[in-house]
Amino acid sequence: MQLKNDLLIRAAKGETVERTPVWLMRQAGRILPEYRAVRESLSGFKELVETPELAAEVTIQPVDILDVDAAIIFSDILVVPEAMGCTYEMIEKRGPLFPNTIRTEADLKKLRVADPHEHLHYVLDAIKITKKALNGRVPLIGFAGAPWTILAYMVEGSGSKTFSQARGMLYTNPKLAHQLLRMITDTTIAYLKAQVEAGANLIQIFDSWAGILSPALYREFALPYISEMCDAITTVPVTVFAKGAFFAMEDFSKLNCETIGLDWNMDISKARKEVGPNKTLQGNMDPCLLYSSFENIQRETINMLKEFGPQRHIANLGHGVYPDTDPEKVKCFVQTVKEYGSIING
Ligand SMILES: Cc1c2[nH]c(c1CCC(=O)O)Cc1[nH]c(c(CCC(=O)O)c1C)Cc1[nH]c(c(CCC(=O)O)c1C)Cc1[nH]c(c(C)c1CCC(=O)O)C2
């Protein structure tokens, strides 16, 4: 189906756009009262993720309410470990918890390379329902976690400031780490291909814990698997967002992907030099700006647009929007990009 608003796709491919496209990581979720209303009627987060009609509904909410240029399918990166046989619980106000972590050869033996059509059909169904309901209004983004970030949760068993168990495994049992990364990568490639088949117009890979690895570990345990994933997705643009990986920008320039996401720690002009002219950059406003006044949001957003320049930029935050952000402030960010993104282009 022809997209009515294809700014995101054209910007990703480096085609000329009349205005910078804008969306927000974690736009579907707790910032919206409409999301909380759907969520409260259910037993928990997982029920929402696993009920395709409801996942589709909350996917479309930010398109209607925030007026963003893309939808991102409502799901989680943790559905992949679950499909592999390592289930998680989402504990209210605390985050994910894996009752059975993967730390030994015996743990690994209990896992499988998942078949997305068998074990992740609910996400594929949600994509199909969303596409139909969107009727081409905006592109739909599919996503998955990068293998290192998924390993981090499977080994650690929960969120952590240091992920010391997971990072430790890279030194104490690199062979086991590579075996696990292999299984995650094979599962994720099949899963992303199935998302594209179901209708995803662009794929984003989230490497949320990239920044806790040394450059050497990142090159051994993270980059090769991301590179493989980029090579495997050939029919839609791919975005790689590796939070904190300022040290890997030159490596990213060689990836077979269209867009690199930047967090707010990264210097825009330095990243542009290192990534080169042939990739689109996405980001990178500090989510905390949205706690500030409307005037500040406008001013800083315009500064950001000027720094990135009119082409090969997708406006976004440098990480997911924080749950206690006022949706009116999000709208201000989106509207500022929409207004000034064309003036700067013109
Ligand atoms: C690391 C990571 C996770 N999940 C995700 C990442 C990568 C992005 C990042 O770095 O933030 C990705 C994700 N999670 C969710 C989405 C939905 C789509 C969107 O971006 O709008 C996406 C893209 C929904 C969610 N995923 C989660 C919620 C909150 C659960 C709720 O509704 O109660 C939502 C809306 C829960 C979740 N999921 C995860 C954690 C650590 C938590 C708990 C902390 C938190 O709440 O943010 C794992």
Domain chopping of the chain, boundaries: 7-288+313-324
Give the pLDDT confidence of 123-134 residue by residue, as tens digits: 999 999 999 999
Atom number of ligand 1 nearest to Cα 243: 10
Phi, then psi, of 267 in degrees rounded to 5: -80, 125
- Say how far apart CA 331 and CA 339 lie, in whole Å: 12
Give the pLDDT confidence of 72-94 residue by residue, as tens digits: 999 999 999 999 999 999 998 89
- Say how far apart CA 95 and CA 98 lie, in whole Å: 10
The set of protein residues with a Cβ atom below 6 angstroms from ligand 1 is 25-30, 39, 45, 72, 74, 76-78, 90, 95-96, 143, 159, 206, 208, 320
Average pLDDT over every residue of 98-118: 98
Which pLDDT does position 343 carry in this prediction? 65
Sign (positive/negative) of CA torsion 67, 70, 74, 77?
negative
Per-residue b/e over 68-102, b at no fewer than 16 CB within 10 Å?
Answer: bbbbbbbbbbbbbbbbbebebeeeeeeebebeebb
Per-residue b/e over 258-287, b at no fewer than 16 CB within 10 Å?
Answer: bbbbbbbebebeebbebbeeebbbbbbbbb
Instruction: Look at ligand 1, atom 32, and give the residue with the nearest C-alpha.
Output: 45
State the CB neighbour count (10 A cutoff) for residue 227: 17
Ligand 1 binding pocket mutation candidate from 64, 77, 319 (most atoms within 8 A of CB): 77
Alpha helical stretches, state H, the chain: 7-13, 33-40, 45-49, 52-65, 79-84, 105-109, 116-119, 121-134, 147-156, 164-172, 174-198, 215-221, 223-232, 249-253, 268-275, 294-308, 327-345
State the CB neighbour count (10 A cutoff) for residue 306: 12
Percent of the chain with pLDDT over 90: 97
Cα–ligand 1 centroid distance for 39 (angstroms):
14
Whole-structure pTM value: 0.97
Instruction: Look at ligand 1, atom 6, and give the residue with the nearest C-alpha.
Output: 77
Phi, then psi, of 11 in degrees rounded to 5: -65, -40
Atom number of ligand 1 nearest to Cα 320: 11
Sign (positive/negative) of CA torsion 314, 318, 319, 321?
negative
Please choose, from the candidates 105, 112, 104, the residue with its C-alpha nearest in 3D space to the C-alpha of residue 86: 112
* Binding site feature residues for substrate: 26-30, 76, 153, 208, 319
* Binding site feature residues: 26-30, 76, 153, 208, 319
Q: Which residues are catalytic?
A: 26, 30, 39, 76, 153
| Candidate CATH numbers 3.40.50.80, 3.20.20.210, 1.10.760.10, 3.30.1490.20; the one for domain 7-288+313-324 | 3.20.20.210
Q: Which two tokens stand for residue 108?
A: 């690994």
Does residue 345 carry a pLDDT above 60? Answer: no
Cα–ligand 1 centroid distance for 76 (angstroms):
6
Which pLDDT does position 93 carry in this prediction? 87
Ligand 1 binding pocket mutation candidate from 73, 76, 241 (most atoms within 8 A of CB): 76
Please choose, from the candidates 212, 203, 214, the residue with its C-alpha nearest in 3D space to the C-alpha of residue 240: 203
Cα–ligand 1 centroid distance for 307 (angstroms):
29
Give the pLDDT confidence of 164-219 residue by residue, as tens digits: 999 999 999 999 999 999 999 999 999 999 999 999 999 999 999 999 999 999 99
ipTM, 2 decimals?
0.94
Which pLDDT does position 209 carry in this prediction? 98
